[in-house]
């Protein structure tokens, strides 16, 4: 299964909505140029010839659900603000940093947790039901694949809908922690600004800086979102598990990821070592373009919705 490498761009008919995101949030999606239907046919051929497809998804998938990414030119949070995501070392080292993080997360949680899967998430779940998709690895922590019903799923960087204790390692639901926050901080309020991909939020106004953060109910330890913060590394057992699923597959499709983060890029390097065919669906260049036999630039939702898992 070797295709000549082609860089192609997808287009849609005039007037057609480009994603399933609600009105007002598609500004988080990069603009995309247009080309002919031939790109769809090539991607359809790639998917059809795969029998056990391994899929890697990134932030470009969730932007169409209204969750901004960090790096996209002009629309990512790095471009829109001077804020940067929480670093693992800072969170572990500083009680004040944890207080500020959890205060922002508390304010942003209702908005962040309300986001729903878009047509791309739903299409990939249908591919799994039809037996086309062998395993899906996501770099996103928003739980949208789980909400869509995806079963064969590894959340490579964890999930913001779960909380872990740095002391005893126990895992609990982020929704339950929200109730504890409310009980401890009944008079604390703030107005949320833009919510980041990990549920962090940008304050507009703060009425009380004395936010109280509860400890782990089991051991009294420090609570942290069950996500891989910047500066931390993915669990080695998780990495090996994903490598094992990749070894069982016969083709790789990257969806909505620039592959800038090594934790996901390593699997594309491994696919290259195995001479596995790789296709990329993303708006703009990616770190792995040189590994791809087929590159399609387009919006994830509108492209995947028309590709059939034959």
Q: Is 141 annotated as a binding residue?
A: yes
70 in a known ligand binding site: yes
Q: Is there a binding annotation on residue 128?
A: no
142 is in an annotated binding site: yes
Question: What angle is formed at CA 235 by the lines to CA 231 and CA 237, rounded to 5 degrees?
Answer: 160
Residue 65 is assigned to a ligand binding site: yes
- Tell me: is residue 301 an annotated ligand-binding position: no
Task: Establish whether 231 is an annotated binding residue.
Answer: no
Please check whether residue 300 is in contact with residue 281, taking contact to mean a CB–CB distance below 8 angstroms.
yes
Q: Is 61 annotated as a binding residue?
A: yes
Q: How far apart are CA 265 and CA 248, in angstroms?
A: 18
- CA 289 remoteness from chain centre: 19
Structure tokens of 118?
């878009």
In the numeric block, which tokens belong to residue 264?
A: 């996901």
Query: Is 11 among the residues known to form the active site?
Result: no
CB 301 within 8 A of CB 126: no
Does 32 appear as a known binding residue? no
* 77 annotated ligand-binding residue: yes
Residue corresponding to tokens 């988080």: 28
Residue 39 in marked binding region: no
Q: Is 169 annotated as a binding residue?
A: no
Distance, in Å, from the CA atom of 166 to the CA atom of 219, rounded to the nearest integer, reads 10
Is residue 152 a known part of a binding site?
A: no
Of 134, 145, 157, 161, which is the active-site residue? 157
Q: Is 105 annotated as a binding residue?
A: no
Q: Is 168 annotated as a binding residue?
A: yes
Task: Please tell me whether 216 is known to bind a ligand.
Answer: yes
Q: Give the distance, in angstroms, between the CA of residue 248 and the centroid of all CA atoms in the same chain.
A: 23
Confirm or deny that 219 is annotated as ligand binding.
yes
Annotated ligand binding at 35? The verdict is: no
The residues that are catalytic are 157
Binding-site entries for NAD(+) = 58-78, 139-142, 256-258, 282-284, 300
**Binding site feature residues:** 58-78, 139-142, 165, 168, 216, 219, 256-258, 282-284, 300
Question: Which parts are annotated binding residues for Zn(2+)?
Answer: 165, 168, 216, 219
């Amino acid at each position: 299964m070797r295709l000549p490498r082609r860089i192609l761009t997808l287009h849609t008919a005039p007037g057609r909505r480009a994603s399933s995101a609600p009105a007002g949030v598609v500004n988080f999606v990069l603009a995309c140029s247009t080309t002919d239907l031939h790109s769809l046919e090539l991607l359809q051929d790639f998917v059809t010839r795969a029998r056990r497809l391994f899929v890697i998804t990134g932030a470009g998938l969730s932007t169409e659900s209204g969750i901004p990414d960090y790096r996209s030119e002009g629309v990512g949070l790095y471009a829109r603000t001077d804020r940067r995501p929480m670093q693992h070392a800072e969170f572990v080292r500083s009680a004040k940093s944890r207080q500020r993080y959890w205060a922002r997360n508390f304010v942003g949680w209702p908005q962040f947790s309300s986001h729903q899967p878009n047509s791309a998430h739903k299409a990939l779940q249908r591919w799994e039901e039809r037996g086309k998709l062998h395993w899906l690895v996501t770099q996103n922590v928003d739980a949208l694949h789980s909400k869509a019903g995806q079963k064969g799923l590894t959340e490579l960087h964890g999930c913001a809908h779960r909380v872990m204790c740095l002391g005893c390692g126990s895992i609990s639901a982020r929704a339950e922690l929200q109730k504890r926050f409310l009980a401890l901080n009944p008079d604390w309020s703030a107005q949320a600004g833009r919510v980041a991909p990990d549920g962090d939020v940008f304050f507009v106004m703060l009425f009380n800086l004395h936010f109280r953060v509860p400890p782990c109910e089991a051991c009294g330890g420090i609570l942290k979102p069950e996500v891989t913060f910047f500066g931390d590394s993915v669990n080695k057992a998780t990495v090996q598990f994903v490598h094992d699923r990749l070894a069982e597959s016969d083709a790789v499709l990257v969806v909505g990821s620039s592959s800038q983060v090594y934790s996901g890029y390593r699997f594309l390097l491994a696919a290259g070592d195995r001479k596995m065919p790789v296709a990329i669906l993303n708006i703009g260049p990616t770190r792995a373009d040189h590994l791809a036999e087929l590159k399609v630039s387009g919006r994830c939702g509108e492209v995947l919705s028309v590709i059939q898992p034959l």
